[in-house]
Each structure stands twice: as C-alpha cells, then as structure tokens.
Amino acid sequence: MRRLLVTGGAGFIGSNFVRMVLSEQPGCLVVNLDKLTYAGNLANLAEFLNHPNHKFVKGDICDGGLIEKIIGEHKTDTIVNFAAESHVDRSITEPKVFIDTNITGTLNLLEAARDKKLERFIQISTDEVYGALGPQGKFTEKTPLTPNSPYSASKAAADHLVKAFGHTWGVKYNITRCSNNYGPYQFPEKLIPLMINNALNDKELPVYGDGLYVRDWLYVYDHCTAVWKVLTEAPPGEVYNIGGCNEKTNLEVINLILDRLGKPQSLIKHVTDRPGHDRRYAIDANRIMTELDWRPSVSFEEGISRTIDWYLQSENWLGNVVSGDYQKYYESMYSER
Ligand code: NAD
Ligand code: DAU
C-alpha cells in the first residue's frame, strides 16, 4: 500500500489529485497537509473528508517539525508537493510569501525526505520556469531555466534545490513541469474561472494587453494522471514536461467561454498589461508520452464544457469563494487597470 504525504491537497490541482487517488487507488493512504490559505478550501474535498484512507492536517510546509511528525506518525513513503503560492499577479504585488512557501517550504520537505529516507519526492513544478517563447518552438526538459516573474523564479529555485538534494544526498526525486491547468475547483483569480464568473454576472472581462498571449491548456484530471504515472513508473532523478498540445490565445479562450454561455463579446475590456508578461508557453510532452505512455484524455472543447457546467452547478461553492476577501482582492487588482 502506497502511503502519500500530499501537500497543498486542498487547492485546485491538489484536491483533484487527492480525489483521483482516493477514487481510483483503493490501497493508497493520503495524508493531506495544507495551510488553508485563501486558495485552500476543504469544500473542494467535502465528500472525502471522512474517507478512511484520507487524513487531513492543517499546517504549514515551512514547519519542519510538523513534517517530520506527520511522516513518523503515518509512515508515509512519498511526498507529492503541490503546496505553493501559485498566482503570478499576486507574486508581482507581494513576492515575499512566494519565497517562504515555494522555496523554504520545499527545502523543509526535502530535508524530511532525506532524513526519513523516503522512497520518492515528487516536486510539482511548472513550465513557467523555462521563461517565455517567441512564436516558434516548444519547451523541452533540456530548455534552460530562465524564469521571469517572482512566482516562476521561486519555483525554479525549488527545482534547483530538489536536484541538489538528489545529487548531494541521493534523495530519490522526480520533477514535473506542467502547462496551464483548468477544470473544477479552480480559484477564480486565474483566467478561465475568473472569466466564467464575470460573464455569468454580466461583468466586464479584463483582458491584459492585446489578449494575444498564448498558453497551452490541459484539463486538470489529465495533469493528475500524468503525476500518478511519474509517481508509480518513472525512474528517480528524471524531469517530465506535461502539456496538452493545445495552444490558444487568451482571446480565443474567452470567446469560447462567451459563446458557450451565450454572452456578448461587448463584455470584453482590454486593460493594462501584466508587468513582464510572458508572451507564449508551449510544452513538448514527447518524453512522458513515449517513456511513460501518458496521453491527455480530454479535448479542450470537452474540458471547457465540463468546466462551465461544473461552475454552473456549483453556485454555493462559487458564492462562498467570491465573498469576503475575494472582493477586496478583485478591487485592488483590477480597479485601476
Ligand atoms: P492553488 O493556489 O490552487 O493551491 C495551492 C494550495 O497550497 C492551497 O490549498 C494552499 O492552501 C496550499 N498552501 C499554500 N501555502 C502553503 C504552505 N505554506 N503550507 C501548506 N500548504 C500551503 O494552486 P494550484 O493551481 O492547485 O497549483 C498547485 C501546484 O501546481 C503548485 O505548485 C503550482 O506551482 C503547480 N502548477 C500549477 C499550474 C496551474 O495551472 N494552476 C500549472 C503547473 C503547475
Ligand atoms: O503555465 C503554468 C502556470 O499557469 C502555473 O504555474 C501558474 O500557477 C498558473 O497560475 C498559470 O499562470 P498564468 O499566469 O499563465 O495563468 P493566469 O490564469 O493567471 O493567466 C493566463 C493568461 O491570461 C495570462 O496570459 C494572463 C491572462 N489574464 C489573466 C487574468 C487573471 C488576463 O488577460 N486577464 C486576467 O484577469
């Protein structure tokens, strides 16, 4: 029986991963350590909170003593580190917490993995560590790390630490670098859920700059299956890109959402651009496809329909998430753009 310590399991991707593991891997224990920041939400896992193979611990990955205690108590053999500050715009206004959680937090987890001789350490990284692309080419695992935002710089620093712990102390690790995810339970600060929520409320859709920035979108369940493949089948010390082979400009994504919701294009408002905005990301996912036989299973058109249906059916979840602090965040981020 695999015994996982999953960090950040109450966030968007982490909760989708915990749901997948508990639903599809009956022999697997999941200890879920999450600080429950603004982005962490136990409602994401409401139906699994009393599951016999799921133990939730509220806590911080910056607390090294707590991590050692959890590993000792639950005899976990693997860490899957989803916990992070994840939003680029917030890293531009308040970078410090990104350094604390994404770098110091990862360091603490690595020290525990080394000292407790864990079987595997899986670092959930991002394609943003590679920087930005022009109109041609894709990121491969050999592309040098040249991050541009405080968020991606903190994730790249964490990747370097993971490799250094492998090289210096033999920590058995894998790093995954995925492109943009979308799907159920995503916090509406990110492009797709923010645009769905605004369109549903007939509010303006704030498009940064010309809206021709390109992202490579992957349905969140497909990211989770890729992480599971790496966790169970990859040799240690290897890095895998994960992507949807699905490049879209932001305007293409937004127009598809408006179309599916039957809302007018007049809701679109071009606003001041993100400072240092990366123009294009595109992933070469050949390695994970050929070596681990992984494929995305959900097309973008299908994934967007499922996502919109989920937000339409999850009025209570969305209502709770966008009340209170979210209004203040929205005001501070968008009122003067
Ligand atoms: P998210 O912001 O939705 O969730 C992050 C979770 O981490 C939250 O539950 C939060 O409470 C928790 N957390 C934050 N600081 C913590 C701390 N100090 N200790 C314990 N828990 C803490 O993020 P997400 O979009 O689900 O991203 C998850 C991971 O995947 C991140 O590492 C991110 O860099 C990476 N990633 C995200 C995407 C994407 O498109 N969202 C793509 C590639 C990689
Ligand atoms: O590529 C993987 C990364 O994708 C992850 O590592 C990050 O955690 C995740 O947040 C995401 O980063 P992006 O910056 O690409 O995602 P975001 O949803 O913030 O923005 C997507 C694009 O949409 C980007 O070009 C900026 C633009 N945008 C975003 C928002 C929130 C807008 O035009 N308007 C907006 O209001």
Please tell me if the CB atom of residue 11 comes closer than 6 angstroms to any atom of ligand 1: yes
Token code pair at residue 16: 């989708």
Please tell me if the CB atom of residue 154 comes closer than 6 angstroms to any atom of ligand 1: no
Is the pLDDT reported for residue 124 higher than 90? yes
Are the folds of 2-181+219-242 and 184-215+246-323 the same? no
Distance, CA of 86 to CA of 171 (rounded, Å) = 25
Q: Are 34 and 9 in contact (CB under 8 A)?
A: yes
The domain locations on the chain are 2-181+219-242, 184-215+246-323
Is the pLDDT reported for residue 262 higher than 90? yes
Identify the CATH number of the domain defined by range 2-181+219-242.
3.40.50.720
Global pTM exceeds 0.75: yes
Q: Output the CA 255–ligand 1 centroid distance in Å.
A: 27
When mean pLDDT is compared across 2-11, 105-114, 245-254, 315-324, the lowest value belongs to 315-324
Q: Are 169 and 116 in contact (CB under 8 A)?
A: no
Q: How far lies 259's CA from each of 232, 252, 314, 315, in Å?
A: 40, 10, 20, 20
Instruction: State residue 216's pLDDT score.
Output: 98
Is the pLDDT reported for residue 57 higher than 90? yes
> Mean pLDDT across the chain, nearest whole number?
97
Pocket test for ligand 2, best of 180, 277, 333, 334 (most atoms within 8 A of CB): 180
Identify the CATH number of the domain defined by range 184-215+246-323.
3.90.25.10
CA-closest residue to ligand 1 atom 15: 84
Amino acid letter for position 324: G
DSSP-based three-state secondary structure for 268: strand
CA torsion 23-26-27-33 (nearest 10°) is 30
DSSP-based three-state secondary structure for 123: strand
Is the pLDDT reported for residue 324 higher than 90? no
Token code pair at residue 331: 């005001």
Of the pLDDT bands very low, low, confident and very high (cuts 50, 70, 90), residue 140 is very high
Q: Output the CA 41–ligand 1 centroid distance in Å.
A: 12
Helix axes 150-169, 106-115, angle to 10 degrees: 10
Q: Output the CA 164–ligand 1 centroid distance in Å.
A: 22
Distance, CA of 52 to CA of 72 (rounded, Å) = 19
- The share of the chain scoring above pLDDT 90, in percent, equals 98
Instruction: State residue 8's pLDDT score.
Output: 98
pLDDT digits (tens, 9 = 90+) for 212-238: 999 999 999 999 999 999 999 999 999
> Which ligand 1 atom lies nearest to the CA of residue 9?
9
Distance, CA of 213 to CA of 279 (rounded, Å) = 5
Q: Which ligand is nearest to the CA of 224?
A: 1
Instruction: State residue 167's pLDDT score.
Output: 98
Is the pLDDT reported for residue 270 higher than 90? yes
pLDDT digits (tens, 9 = 90+) for 60-89: 999 999 999 999 999 999 999 999 999 999
Handedness of CA 243, 247, 251, 253 (dihedral sign): negative
Distance, CA of 196 to CA of 211 (rounded, Å) = 16
Instruction: State residue 307's pLDDT score.
Output: 98
Q: Are 45 and 185 in contact (CB under 8 A)?
A: no
Instruction: State residue 224's pLDDT score.
Output: 98
Instruction: State residue 1's pLDDT score.
Output: 80
Instruction: State residue 242's pLDDT score.
Output: 98
Q: Are 98 and 104 in contact (CB under 8 A)?
A: no
